Amino acid sequence: MAEEYKISTPKKKIDDRIFDTDIIGQYDAIPFSKGRVAVDLRNIKFVNPYGALGMLILCETILAGFGERADLLLPGTSDGSEIASWLGSLGFLEALQGAANINFPPPFNSHNGPSYIKVSKINSLQDVEKVTVELFYKLQPILIHKLGYREEEGNRAATLISELCSNIYQHSAPDGERPHGYMAMQSYQNSLKMAVMDLGRGIPETVKSKCNSYEGKSDGDIIHSVCREGIPCQGHISLGLYQTLKITKRGEGILNIRSGKAKILFDYRQESSVGDRKIPTPFFSGTQIGIYLPKKEEKKRGLENDFEEGIF
Amino acid sequence: MTLKKVSFKVKVAGSVNDGFLMTREVGRKTKEALWAKISELSPNSVLEMDFSNIKFMDVSGADEAVVKLLTRLETGEYPDRFIVLSHVSSQHKENIETALKVNEKTAIVKKEDGSWDIWGELNSSYKEIIQEIAEKGSMTARETQEKMNYRTVNEVSTKLGLLYKKCLLAREPYRKAVVGGGRQYKYISLI
């Protein structure tokens, strides 16, 4: 009889921190063998873009590793939960089709809303362009009218997405293989949250394959270094993460990058005393990136509590 | 000598998204189109790259269409052709400056009010020389030395030669070679 495994969280939300530690930790603890995996999210009341993309790539990883779809258990609409409806609108359920068995017929009426951009696949150069152009026009009203940004600051957010999605296309897949990743964005609680993820080789392996001088360095040191200096790559320096970090710093936000066996948190909020933190994580495929940009006037307020409570 | 100035509106190549100079692939194709334009120029020409059609530029696009173009010009494949950037927005600036600085390149930027700026990596003493020559239109090494109080002509000649190699100043032979020395040039502002 096939083994059955369960991944769940006692928390009522899936965000950056819970995905990077609890969820990946549970996945890593499963001995690799044949079996069924249930991802039980029935008590979840909140999922941010990072959490949604994380669960999506987790289900895809389970399908690739176990050869069977995971059983994804979501809160039913009869429970009064709005989460399934939200995940449907966000395009999470649509993107998940074929990668997991879902416990009830999902609403697939995904669409871009006034405060979010639905889960978008990044499999080609055209996808990168499509997502960036969409964001360029979509972000302006959100950032300017809702979050108090100036037009040029709004453009910076489009730069972030362009650079990160380009990285998926350009760096994540081994030669000859098709890149595969996702992007989603949401304006929530006076802030903008963006997530970009892929299931490629991950930053440490990619960088080591392009530059011998990174051999022997820890995953955390490599991620930190490419964010600070760029990635030497085929006659030029790839500046996607470098520029992402710079823009996050200017926006006094937070950049969270997890890849290989490490997670780096760059916290540039005014009140933050955290700075750069390298946090070891269990290994997980690809690269997962979350960005938080606060509302203008929110920068003056202490957001430490929000962060500690795991809103980011 | 007067530099021939040619204005050219930069158009995105290789993409259906007109005005979005992003991703390395699109940047490369746009750079090739720009390079083709440069190849048509006669010596002592300045291509004024007008970015008014570009709505959005990412750092990869900036790296290809500006930095790589400058790098190729510096190799001397088409000597005495120069570029100046114009109609650049604050969004363009952020990404162009990053690409220039990381690659230790410099570009001259013409602003809409007629003034100009220098973006990228360049020591202030070199910037001052460009400023001085821009005010006069053109200057020899000796004139520059006297005006800016350099100790020797050699010192300022070295700096001017480097600015020429970086395609930030044009030059023309000024007189016959001096006895026991090299050729003299008059250095000309691109603006």
Q: Which helix (H) or strand (E) holds A100?
A: strand A100-102
Of A132, A159, A170, the CB nearest to B95: A159
Flag if A246 and B98 touch (Cβ within 8 Å): yes
Burial of A312 (0-12, 13-18, 19+ CB in 10 A): buried
Element housing B125 (H / E) = helix B124-136
**CA A135 to CA A117: how far, in whole Å?**
8
Check if the beta carbon of residue A16 is closer than 8 Å to that of residue A50. Answer: yes
Shortest Cα–Cα distance, A108 to chain B (Å): 28
Instruction: List the single residue in B15, B91, B102 with the smallest CB-CB distance to A230.
Output: B102
Q: How far is CA A182 from CA A95, A194, A256, A266, B178, in A?
A: 9, 11, 16, 22, 66
Provide the sign of the torsion angle of the four alpha carbons B156, B157, B162, B167, taken in this order: positive
pLDDT category of residue A90 using cuts at 50, 70 and 90: confident
Distance from CA of A250 to the nearest CA of B (A): 11
pLDDT at A301: 43
Q: Which of B60, B68, B94 has the CB atom closest to A156's CB atom?
A: B94
Going from the C-alpha of B33 to that of each of B28, B49, B160, the distances in angstroms are 9, 12, 30
Residue A312 has what pLDDT? Answer: 34
User: Looking at residues A266-295, what average pLDDT do you find?
Assistant: 87
Q: d(Cα A18, Cα A199) in Å, to the nearest integer?
A: 19
A162 to B23: CB separation less than 8 angstroms, yes or no:
yes
ipTM score of the complex? 0.74
Residue A1 has a pLDDT of 61
Could you tell me the end-to-end alpha-carbon distance of chain B, in angstroms, rounded to an integer? Answer: 14
Select the more confidently predicted residue: A31 or B3: B3
Question: Chain-wide mean pLDDT for chain A?
Answer: 83
Q: Out of A132, A170, A246, whose CB is closest to B20?
A: A132
Distances (CA, A) of B96 to A139, A247, A286, B168: 22, 14, 29, 16
CB distance A243–B103 less than 8 Å? no
Q: What is the mean pLDDT of chain B?
A: 92
Q: What is the pLDDT of residue B175?
A: 66
B114 pLDDT band, cuts 50/70/90, is confident
Q: Kindly list the residues from chain B whose CB atom is less than 8 angstroms away from the CB atom of residue A139.
A: none
User: Using a CB-CB distance cutoff of 8 angstroms, which residues of chain A are in contact with residue B102?
Assistant: 230, 237, 239, 242
Q: A61 near A27, Cβ under 8 Å?
A: yes
Question: Any bridge partners for residue A266, and if so which?
Answer: A255, A276
pTM, rounded to two decimals: 0.82
Q: Which of A4-8, A112-116, B130-134 has the lowest mean pLDDT?
A: A112-116
Beta-carbon separation of A159 and B91 below 8 A: yes
